Amino acid sequence: MTSALHAFPHALPRALGRVLPPRAALALVLAGSAASVASTFLPWTWTAKFPGDLTVAGYPGGNQVITLTLGLVTLVFGAAACGVRPLARLVPRGSAQALRGLAFAQAASTWYVLAAIAVELGGLANWVAGSWVAAVATLLPLAGALALPDDRREAPPGGGLPRPAEIAILFVLMLGAMLVVDWGLATEHTQQFVGYVLALGFAAWGVNRSGLLEEISGVSARNRVATSLAALVAAVAFAFVQDGDAYLSLAANILIFGAVALGLNIVVGLSGLLDLGYVAFLGVGAYVAALVSGSVFSRYAGTPLPFWAAVLIGIAVAVLAGVLIGAPTLRVRGDYLAIVTLGFGEIFRILVNNLDGTSGPRVTNGPNGVPGVPDLSLFGYDFGETHQVLGFTLGRFANYYLLLVGVIAVVVFVFSRVNDSRIGRAWVAIREDETAAAAMGVNGFRLKLLAFALGAALAGLAGTVQAHVTTTVTPDQYQFLATAPPNSAFLLAAVVLGGMGTISGPLLGGALLYVIPEKFEFFDDKQLLLFGLTLILMMRLRPEGLVPNRRRRLEFHEEEIAEAEGHDVATRTAPAGVKA
Amino acid sequence: MTAPETVPPENAPAETVLDARGVTMRFGGLTAVKGVDLTVRAHEIVGLIGPNGAGKTTFFNCLTGLYEPTAGEVRYRGTRLPSRPHEVTRAGVARTFQNIRLFPNMTAMENVMVGRHCRLREGLFSAIGRGPRYRRAEAEARDKARELLEFAGIARHGGTLARHLPYGDQRRLEIARALASDPGLILLDEPTAGMNPQETRQTQELVFAIRDRGLAVVVIEHDMRFIFGLCDRVAVLTQGEKLVEGPPAQVQSDERVVAAYLGEPGDLEGLGDPRDPGEPGAPADGSGEES
């Protein structure tokens, strides 16, 4: 399978390259992209029945916006390929790959829509002149890009831009990325979202291959504080560009999930401890907050505590639970640990189910859980009300979303600081070789317990907010596996899919796990099937996750990276015989 | 270069650093180490040789807390060594492994900094808070690690992942990592296994340099030329028991040692005559020593 996958992308370009000289190919890319931009100003079908209304001349709508944007971006990269000076930085490692990715993106997303028009409306008769123009126009750049000679090269040692310029670029990029995400979320129809995903996927692939993402991560590595600040600003701005609460509620849930996934990342990604019962800590935090919130269904309704106290108690109880679970389980390693934590996760759920006054002491209200958790009110700001801030309307979920951005900021801060410290190094050492770490003076048990406790604290923190966002806390929200996040299996999947040991990985993985089911409604009951397939494909094609950390990337793709960087692997590593 | 602070000033050159008495290790019916005594004095380099399966690595594991000896006692500078590996390291005994056990996906620098772990105090909250004390400690650990990489001759590899280092440098990195915990005694388990003669010579110089830092060294090795050129004293283990102990010249000419290497039926490895140092002992794949 791999050889076929790798052979195909070489055969076709070679054949096309023989027909088209490079200059003609580039010209074809530019002309084709211009034509596809033009085609978006024509109607693509005659009836407004197709979602997004593609019937208006002179005003691109729906999927046409995607094609239009991609066409313009391709033109920019084409200009870079022509050697326009300031644009050359866009393609540090060669332009052909970027143009191929973008051309694929144009063709794939446009052809998908045209096919959808034909299928859903019943036949090619529903294509109008504009459809044919678009169909042909988007194929031209593809043919041109494939015919381009492969110009992959080592990235030139890019001297950084002046600092203010780099910071400005970071802010623009973050806000731009936020707007792109926002556009994708706001798509009203599955057709638009599929087109969007196709476009984004291919474009990201091409742009990555041409070295732009590397360049950007270089810039952000040089300006860490500015990067975090830009991300924070973009995240806050997201709340202000939303029209309604619909996607903010989704975003708030993603942030809760992301905070827990980052906590799990300490345990799994850094310390290498496979924990299958992690969602229990989220549950601990949520239950504590719900019980002391003053909800009339709570056993402790008479003594509502202020939110800061609820947070502190929630974290403390979660840490306690982490230590209680960790102390006996962390003596076993590997697979055994996974099984034992799985058991403890279920014990939590069954315990809160039974603390209902009949099966056990009356604490948690049993399977009914604690409904009616009141909205938060901090410094007189009622999170349940709609507020007007700077002329923008912030609804209930916008309030919670902004609070959760703060929570995530705290979690990311703690994660990154601890990761880059004596503690973080010891965790990675334990993951790499526990015996050697012990022989180097690392107290394995204590540090593993610390990882458990810190991870639990972060999950507990997220839980205390979750109780107020969802207003109801029930035992079956905290299972090992359910059809929707959050649950332990999905948390682990977010960490593994996103990239173990990284910060953005679990956040991205968590976001995808929420957004994709939301946007692909037609999967319905096949969601878990799809989820499993995605996991298999990811592990086969990109085992290091979407956002690989440096170590993992080297671990899995050593040969390819060395090849791409022009190193000879054999001279850099130990001879095979002694490597064992 | 100043001596590490755990090593007292050189007022007592003959001070006993390690004192192992009657160390016995049984695994079920198999007795891997039988009543072995070993004394190491300050600034001494002691060799531990013997055919494969003689129990040398098991003895090391008993010293460093990886195994808890069935019987016997190990004292370091007069106090009994604790039975957990990290506590042994903290007490001042560091080791390397027969089959290299670096942290492969950490850089050389990070590997050495992990070795420094038990000499640092900074906990979770100072890591989050990053006060001036934390930053000073971290900077000092970095300097120390850099110094040790330089000492081991691999300073140029500081930012390289350990798994990407050439084989000989991986061995050196393991030694540098062990030194980072400021030990008073370092146990080297076959430091020259798989090395060519030139690398072996460099390792020999490195071990002498370690001694000059004020450490005592115990080294397991199969390469007789290496051992006899390096050690002040050599102990021979066969079948879990100490056969002979003495200065290299004496051990080299001892008939029982020759017999142990040549005469054991079925012991196909280590056939080299110990008096013929051109014959390095057995290859170090390690499987024979682990049990």
| Three-class DSSP labels, A524-552 | HHHHHHHHHHHHHHHHHHCCCCCCCCHHH
Contacts of residue B165 in chain A, CB cutoff 8 Å? 574
Q: Does A424 touch chain B (CB under 8 A)?
A: yes
Q: How far apart are CA B280 and CA B278, in angstroms?
A: 6
Those residues with Cβ within 8 angstroms of residue A67's Cβ, 6 or more apart along the chain or in another chain: A36, A37, A39, A40, A60, A106, A109, A110, A113, A134, A138
Q: Is the pLDDT of residue B6 over 60?
A: no
- pLDDT bucket at B279, cuts 50 / 70 / 90: very low
Query: Do residues A405 and A253 make contact, with C-beta atoms less than 8 angstroms apart?
Result: no
Out of A347-361, B158-172, B222-236, pick the least confident: A347-361
Q: Does A413 touch chain B (CB under 8 A)?
A: yes
pLDDT for the residue numbered B177 = 92
Least Cα distance to A195 among A90, A50, A29, A35 occurs for: A50
Buried b (16+ CB within 10 A) or exposed e, A88-118: eebbbbbbbbbbbbbbbbbbbbbbbbbebbb
pLDDT for the residue numbered A140 = 85
Asked if the Cβ–Cβ distance from B165 to A574 is below 8 Å, we say yes
Q: Does B172 touch chain A (CB under 8 A)?
A: no
Runs of H (alpha helix) within A223-306 = 224-241, 246-265, 279-291
Region B6-13 average pLDDT: 47
Q: Does A567 touch chain B (CB under 8 A)?
A: no
Q: In one letter, which amino acid is A187?
A: T
Query: Do residues A497 and A535 make contact, with C-beta atoms less than 8 angstroms apart?
Result: yes
State the residue for tokens 């058991």.
Answer: A343
Q: Is the pLDDT of residue B9 over 70?
A: no
- What is the CA angle A149-A83-A141, rounded to 5? 50
A296-301 long-range contacts (CB < 8 A, ≥24 apart) are A296/A372, A297/A365, A297/A368, A297/A370, A297/A371, A297/A372, A298/A365, A298/A370, A299/A362, A299/A363, A299/A364, A299/A365
Asked if the Cβ–Cβ distance from A429 to B114 is below 8 Å, we say yes
Give pTM, 2 decimals.
0.82
Nearest to B90 among A435, A441, A454 (CB): A441
Asked if the Cβ–Cβ distance from B103 to A433 is below 8 Å, we say yes
Query: Do residues B98 and A578 make contact, with C-beta atoms less than 8 angstroms apart?
Result: no
Taking only the tens of pLDDT, chain A with its 580 residues reads: 444 555 555 677 777 777 778 788 888 888 888 888 888 888 777 777 777 777 777 777 778 888 888 888 888 888 888 777 777 777 777 788 888 888 888 888 888 888 888 887 777 777 787 788 888 888 888 888 888 777 777 776 666 678 888 888 889 999 998 888 888 888 878 788 888 888 888 888 888 888 888 788 888 888 888 888 999 999 888 888 887 777 888 888 889 999 999 999 999 988 988 888 889 999 999 999 888 887 777 777 777 788 888 899 999 999 999 998 888 888 887 788 888 888 888 888 888 888 887 777 777 877 777 887 788 777 877 777 777 777 777 788 888 898 999 999 999 999 989 988 889 999 999 999 888 999 888 888 899 999 999 999 999 999 999 988 888 888 888 888 877 778 888 888 888 888 888 888 888 888 888 887 777 776 667 777 877 888 888 888 887 778 777 665 655 655 555 555 544 444 444 333 333 3
Asked if the Cβ–Cβ distance from A437 to B165 is below 8 Å, we say no
Size of interface A-B (CB pairs under 8 A): 118
pLDDT for the residue numbered A471 = 86
Q: In one letter, which amino acid is B118?
A: C
Nearest to B122 among A414, A422, A428 (CB): A422
Q: Which of A517-526, B158-167, B210-219 is modeled with the greatest confidence?
A: B210-219
Question: What residues of chain B, 206 to 265, have a C-beta less than 8 Å from chain A?
Answer: none
Q: How far is A454 from chain B (nearest CA, A)?
A: 9
End-to-end CA distance of chain B: 40
Q: Report which of residues A290 and B284 the model is more confident about.
A: A290
Closest residue in B to A558 (Cα–Cα): B164
Region B269-290 average pLDDT: 43
Contacts of residue A270 in chain B, CB cutoff 8 Å? none
Closest residue in B to A568 (Cα–Cα): B164
Least Cα distance to B36 among B27, B48, B45 occurs for: B48
Asked if the Cβ–Cβ distance from B177 to A440 is below 8 Å, we say yes
Q: How far apart are CA A199 and CA A74, in angstroms?
A: 12
pLDDT for the residue numbered A578 = 37
H or E segment and range at residue A506: helix A504-519
Using CA atoms, how far residue A460 sits from A320, A443, A506, B141, in Å, is 11, 25, 17, 33
pLDDT for the residue numbered A550 = 63
Q: Is the pLDDT of residue B170 over 60?
A: yes
Asked if the Cβ–Cβ distance from B89 to A441 is below 8 Å, we say yes
Q: Is the pLDDT of residue B56 over 70?
A: yes
Sign of CA dihedral A54, A60, A65, A71: positive
Structure tokens at B192: 């020259």
Strands B233-238 and B79-80: unpaired
Asked if the Cβ–Cβ distance from A551 to B117 is below 8 Å, we say no
Least Cα distance to A458 among A409, A494, A497, A391 occurs for: A409
A555: phi > 0 → left, psi -120 to 50 → alpha, else beta; which? Answer: alpha
Contacts of residue B167 in chain A, CB cutoff 8 Å? 574-575, 578
- What is the CA angle A377-A380-A382, rounded to 5? 40
Contacts of residue B123 in chain A, CB cutoff 8 Å? 423
pLDDT for the residue numbered A319 = 94
Q: 3-state SS string over chain B?
A: CCCCCCCCCCCCCCCEEEEEEEEEEEECCEEEEEEEEEEEECCCEEEEECCCCCCHHHHHHHHCCCCCCCEEEEEECCEECCCCHHHHHHHCEEECCCCCCCCCCCEHHHHHHHHCHHHCCCCHHHHHHCCHHHHHHHHHHHHHHHHHHHHCCCHHHCCCEHHHCCHHHHHHHHHHHHHCCCCCEEEEECCCCCCCHHHHHHHHHHHHHHHHCCCEEEEECCCHHHHHHHCCEEEEEECCEEEEEECHHHHHCCHHHHHHHHCCCCCCCCCCCCCCCCCCCCCCCCHHHHC
Radius of gyration of chain B (CA): 19
Contacts of residue B122 in chain A, CB cutoff 8 Å? 421-422
Nearest to A418 among B124, B167, B180 (CB): B124
pLDDT for the residue numbered A407 = 92
Strands B185-189 and B216-220: parallel
Query: Do residues B20 and B34 make contact, with C-beta atoms less than 8 angstroms apart?
Result: no
Least Cα distance to B246 among B74, B62, B47 occurs for: B47
DSSP string, A334-363: HHHHHHHHHHHHHHHHHHHHH-BSSSS-BS
